[in-house]
Each structure stands twice: as C-alpha cells, then as structure tokens.
Amino acid sequence: MNLKDKVLFITGAARGLGGTSAKVCAGYGAKIVAVDLLEDQVKQTVEEIKAAGGEAIYATADVRDREQVRAAVQKAVDTYGRIDGLFNAAGVDRIGSVLEMDDETYDFVMDINVKGSFICASEVGKVMKAQNSGRIINTSSIAAVREEANNAPYCMSKAAVAMLTRVLALELAPNITSVAIQPGNIETDMLRGSFKNRGAAEGKDVSEFYAEMEATIPMGRIGQPEDIAEVVAWLFDDRSGYIDGNAILIAGGKIMA
Ligand SMILES: NC(=O)c1ccc[n+]([C@@H]2O[C@H](COP(=O)([O-])OP(=O)(O)OC[C@H]3O[C@@H](n4cnc5c(N)ncnc54)[C@H](O)[C@@H]3O)[C@@H](O)[C@H]2O)c1
C-alpha cells in the first residue's frame, strides 16, 4: 500500500472507523487532516499518529455546518496546500419505531449522515476540482441494502449516501472519483450503543442481541475497525483507482445470511 504524501481529510476521526482509518492511512504515509466534533479525542488521534512517526493535524467541525467545514478545509489547504482524499466517516444512528420517532430525531440522523457528507464533498470537492484530482470515500452501510427494524432514518440515510456517491462520480468525472463503503457490524462505540438500543426495542439485553447479530455473519465474528480501515487505505491507493461510483460491502458475508 502506498499513500506517501497523500493529504487525506477524514471526518469522524476522533474514534471508530474514522479514527482507525486515520491511523492506518498515516502508517502508509498519508498526511492526515483529522476532523471531528470531539476536540479532546480528535487531538488524541493526531497525537497517536505523530507518536508513531506520522504526520497529522486536527480541526474541530460539525459536518452539518458549512462555515465550520469550510474553515477546516482552509486549515488543510493552508497547512498542506492540497487535499487528495476525503473520507466521510462522521455519522450517527438513533433507534426507534417509525410509529413513535419524533421529527427532531429523524432530522438529527439525516442532517449528520446525509447533509454532512454532502457539505464535506461540496467543500473538499471545490479544492479537488481546482487541482483536477481527488478521491472521495463515503460511508454508506449494509443498512442501505439490508433493512433493519427500528432503524428507518439510519437505513434511509445510508441509501442516500450510496446515491450521493454515484452522483459525485458522474458529476466530478473524470479525474475526481468517488466510492462508498458499506460496512456490516463493526465493533465501535456506535455499534455498542446501537445493539443496546435495538436489543431493548426487541426486549433483549445487549449480550443476547450481540450474540444474535454475530450469528448472522457467515464469518462468525463482528468486524473490527481495522477490517474497514485497511480497505479504506486501499481505496485511497491509486492502484484501486478504477473503482468509481459503486459501493463496496465489507461485512464478513452478512449479506448472504
Ligand atoms: N460500526 C458499524 O457497525 C458501522 C456499520 C456501517 C456503517 N457505519 C458508519 O461508519 C461511520 C463511523 O461510525 P463508527 O461506528 O466509527 O461510529 P462512532 O460513533 O464510533 O464514530 C463516529 C464519529 O463521528 C463523529 N461525529 C458525529 N457527528 C458529527 C458531526 N456532526 N460532525 C463531526 N463529527 C461527528 C463522532 O464524534 C465520532 O467521533 C458512520 O457513518 C457509521 O454510520 C458504522
């Protein structure tokens, strides 16, 4: 894998898939712009990258806020002069029945997952357009193609992100490419919270629901953030560059179960 000197703008970089991908990509030579709402934790990601001999800066931004995203993009350009890759990893889920969920909860999920990805693609996309090159990786989910009860806004948002990826590939062609990843069940803070709440919605405790979910994965284990981060790094490597517009499922075979 060779990401030497590629500048990667990674949202959701405080922890989970964004944080692990930032560290893994830095290990392959990328310069990381780590972006998140959680200042202390995103600083920690940068400290870990530097301690391992890598290069990184951080910016705090809410991906829903265009001005904050613009400021983070400006910081990236001021520091490194360019942005080669965007990984939209910031995301949230909220569990609840279609019959009971309030509009604020729906808006919260859609705004961060869909509008946030859109705003980041828009602002980073302008930099990529000016340099006439770039790679955008969006985070869809297996939930875009495999429906989950009590998770409607999340499933809907991830289907929208897959379509955003296709539109970006068409609109920004030929030299700016886009690809979506569709992780299955990956062990992060989000998964732990989601399993707890989805289990509760079905009257099960978290360990029972966890075991039930694990049994839906042909490979027999919940994924680890590194399972995703290595694919993200590969997708930023020029050698995977002919993949454009589509979504890649990374789910231990779960789609078949
Ligand atoms: N973990 C899984 O099983 C799984 C599966 C499929 C898809 N995903 C997707 O992967 C992405 C990362 O999820 P994760 O599991 O690492 O979750 P996580 O909760 O561990 O990390 C998400 C990060 O996004 C940040 N974030 C949330 N809202 C933000 C905002 N408005 N502005 C800036 N940053 C914000 C959080 O602070 C956090 O650091 C999400 O888009 C999620 O939907 C996760």
Between the CA of 169 and the centroid of ligand 1 the distance, in Å, is 23
From the list 43, 124, 49, the residue with the least C-alpha distance to 87 is 124
Asked whether residue 231 is domain-assigned, the answer is yes
Of the chain, the end-to-end C-alpha distance in Å amounts to 32
CATH at 179:
3.40.50.720
Per the omega criterion (within 30 degrees of 0), is the bond before 218 cis?
Answer: no
Distance from the Cα of residue 192 to its chain's centroid:
17
Q: Is 36 in the pocket of ligand 1 (CB under 6 A)?
A: yes
What is the span of the domain harbouring residue 170? 7-185+224-251
Cα separation of 23 and 221, whole Å? Answer: 23
Asked whether residue 207 is domain-assigned, the answer is no
From the list 81, 98, 82, 76, the residue with the least C-alpha distance to 147 is 98
Between the CA of 81 and the centroid of ligand 1 the distance, in Å, is 27
pLDDT at 257: 66
Asked whether residue 193 is domain-assigned, the answer is no
Q: Is 157 in the pocket of ligand 1 (CB under 6 A)?
A: no
pLDDT at 156: 98
Asked whether residue 102 is domain-assigned, the answer is yes
Q: Which atom of ligand 1 is nearest to the CA of 154?
A: 43
From the list 124, 160, 108, 109, the residue with the least C-alpha distance to 139 is 160
Asked whether residue 86 is domain-assigned, the answer is yes
pLDDT at 256: 80
Asked whether residue 204 is domain-assigned, the answer is no
Cα separation of 253 and 26, whole Å? Answer: 28
pLDDT at 25: 98
Total number of domains constituting the chain: 1
Asked whether residue 100 is domain-assigned, the answer is yes
Residues of the chain predicted below pLDDT 50: none
Structure tokens at 188: 């992060």
Residues whose CB falls within 8 Å of the CB of residue 256, separated by 6 or more in sequence, listed in order:
218
pTM strictly above 0.85 = yes
pLDDT at 58: 98
Active site residue ranges: 154
Residue 70 burial by Cβ neighbours in a 10 Å radius (0-12, 13-18, 19+): middle
Cα torsion angle, 180, 140, 85, 126, sign: positive
Between the CA of 135 and the centroid of ligand 1 the distance, in Å, is 20
pLDDT digits (tens, 9 = 90+) for 81-135: 999 999 999 999 999 999 999 999 999 999 999 999 999 999 999 999 999 999 9
Query: What three-state secondary structure class fits 145?
Result: coil
Cα separation of 202 and 133, whole Å? Answer: 47
pLDDT at 153: 98
Residues whose CB falls within 8 Å of the CB of residue 149, separated by 6 or more in sequence, listed in order:
198, 201, 202
Asked whether residue 213 is domain-assigned, the answer is no
* Residue pointed to by tokens 């780590």: 34
